Amino acid sequence: MRTTIYFLFISAALLLSCNDQKAKSTDTDEKSSYFDYSNSNDQKTGGIKMIPITTPKGTFNVWTKRMGNNPKMKVLLLHGGPGGTHELFENFDGYFPNEEIEYIYYDQLDSYYSDKPNDSTLWTIEHSVSQVEQVRKALNLDKDNFYLFGQSWGGLLAMEYALKHQDHIKGLIIANMMASIPEYEKYAAEVLGPQLPPEVHKEIKAMEAEEDFSNPRYSELVTQHYYTKHVLHLPLDEWPEFINRSFSHMNPNIYIYMQGYSEFGVTGNATLKGWDISDRLDEIKVPTLMIGGKHDTMDPEYMEWMSTQVQNGRSLTTNGAHLTQYDDADNFFNGLIKFIKDVNDGNFTEN
């Protein structure tokens, strides 16, 4: 009798174990649709689409690449510059897929992977906003799924887009971009410049006064003393390959035309001179995240203030610089992902 009970006990234990293994196997075998591109029109290209953009000077194609599938959370990434590339965001690959957030790389017109008409009449905020709207329509992004992320110049562009088309946006993220060029210039002149070694600051200002921007010494000083503190808060030999590659692909023509030569402000007749929408921030009603960095070229306190001016704002300040998606990636992505999911789940609250 005791032997029979023993064998019954062992049999029951084995049966429970098998059922548990089957449950685990079923859980493991369930496939996520996140990376399933089957039957999509961009399957053969791995998510890449060249989107035709209609302009007053003709139709040109811009490069986009979709990463993943999520019908409720789709993030369009607007790169900086003007004239930069999507490559600055390549480390999003290390964070968003695990959260199953769909995101779309996008090179704006005249950037490295897109067509380059090289026509300065197209280098305007108005045309750039129109371009984003055409991309949105082509990718079927709408108020139920569309998150717009913009960094630096991309942040300026995202704000301008929101002021015109926010009815199409589910959530807005502005990273490392103040709402006022004059305030940015003031911060650079009064706070960041004086933080440089006095002799370096003096030499840089002297060359700027002479408009000697092509002098290799100017580039050397700015790169070694300014970029390593306020663009990416790391020594140059620790800058990652994808960021260096993006800088090597920068289009200087559009950058100089709109921004100018200096990192301390907009120079000469560059077209972004005087841009300021700070008094219009209260028109933005969609949930908005403002991201700044303690070492940024943009004033982090001003970025926090911006979050109080929009109707539904939240602020995130990292320990990074202008490219804080890399030099303080954990804080950056934790805050960004939380914002996206809070909005998606209906749990968004202001700071």
Alpha carbon separation from 293 to 156, 177, 201, 276, 316 (Å, rounded): 17, 10, 22, 21, 8
Beta carbons of 291 and 336 less than 8 angstroms apart: yes
Phi, psi of 179 (to 5 degrees): -90, 10
Catalytic entry in 110, 115, 296, 327: 296
- The DSSP bridge partners found for residue 173 are 149, 289
Under DSSP, the state recorded for 71 is S
Catalytic entry in 128, 130, 152, 246: 152
Q: How would you list the strands of the sheet with 313-318, edge to edge?
A: 48-55, 58-67, 102-107, 74-78, 146-151, 171-175, 288-293, 313-318
Q: Is 322 a catalytic residue?
A: yes
CA 297 – CA 279 distance, rounded (Å): 21
Q: Is 201 a catalytic residue?
A: no
Catalytic entry in 127, 180, 322, 328: 322
Q: Is 152 a catalytic residue?
A: yes
Give the torsion sign (CA, 160, 121, 212, 273): negative
Judge residue 119's burial from the number of C-beta atoms within 10 Å of its C-beta, 0-12 exposed, 13-18 middle, 19 or more buried.
middle
Q: Which residues contact 245 (CB under 8 A, 6 or more apart)?
A: 87
Q: Please give the positions annotated as active site.
A: 152, 296, 322
